[in-house]
Structure 1
Amino acid sequence: MTQPTAAVSVLDFYQALEDASARMLEAAQADDWDRVVELEGVCAVLIERLREQAEAAPLSPVERAEKHRIMLAILRHDAQIRALAEPWLDVWGDAAPGGRAPLLH
């Protein structure tokens, strides 16, 4: 059995990011913002690992196309999450600096 190449590893990180962003969207749709924040941390770790791997692993044209597809999916997820979060951001943004945000529950 052959060892996977570094490029495959890079695509695995991109795929893991896509999966995590999809789970973040699901959590946001379920109004589970604690889970969204948790998954945001998972994404941060994956991005750091991806940066380490990507420097040494040029992608083929096919792999670049897959990376492009994944990045577009992540951006769509992010846009949907932001749309769901905007009402919350407005509530927090209206709070006075140093003051308390209004109670939401």
Structure 2
Amino acid sequence: MSNAAAIDVLDYYRALEQTSERMLQAAEADDWERVAELEGACAVLIERLREVGERAPLSPAQRAEKHRIMLAILRHDARIRELAEPWLDAWEATPPGSRSTLLH
């Protein structure tokens, strides 16, 4: 596959990084509906990446860029989980019939 295809794959990784950063910003703003929306966008990007990523060999520099992006995404995800923990703890502590009050 051509170098252009590898760059296209990196574009998907970059888009995923940007979307995960927006998810983090939404989580920091306590906008969990937006986090969920962006999570859906990430799922679409990941599926597309799976389709094109298998056919695109990356140069060492491109692999380094992919590595940097993946680390950023993992940092975003860890922070989002950290922010979500109190909400998840409250969810688990609430009886199932009362959980709808947590959603509003």
Q: Do Structure 1 and Structure 2 share a fold, with TM-score over 0.5?
A: yes
Q: Tell me the secondary structure at the aligned position of residue 97 of structure 2.
A: coil
Alignment partner, residue 68 of structure 1: 67
Backbone CA RMSD of aligned residues = 1.7
Amino acid aligned to 2:63: R
Alignment partner, residue 36 of structure 2: 37
Identity over aligned pairs, percent: 69
Deviations 1:6-38 (A, max 9, x none): 101100000000000000000000111000000
Distance in 2 separating the partners of 1:11 and 1:71:
11
User: Are the aligned partners of 1:91 and 1:102 in contact in 2 as well (CA < 8 Å)?
Assistant: no
Alignment partner, residue 18 of structure 1: 17
For this pair of structures, how many residues does the alignment match?
Answer: 102
User: Are the aligned partners of 1:13 and 1:50 in contact in 2 as well (CA < 8 Å)?
Assistant: yes
Give the unaligned 5+ runs of structure 1: none
Are 1:93 and 2:103 counterparts? no
Deviation at 1:95, TM superposition (A): 2.8
Distance in 1 separating the partners of 2:93 and 2:65:
41
Of Structure 1 and Structure 2, which has the larger fraction of its residues in helix? 2
Deviation at 1:4, TM superposition (A): 7.1
Q: TM-score, normalised by structure 1?
A: 0.90
Give the unaligned 5+ runs of structure 2: none
Amino acid aligned to 1:38: E
User: Are the aligned partners of 1:18 and 1:70 in contact in 2 as well (CA < 8 Å)?
Assistant: yes
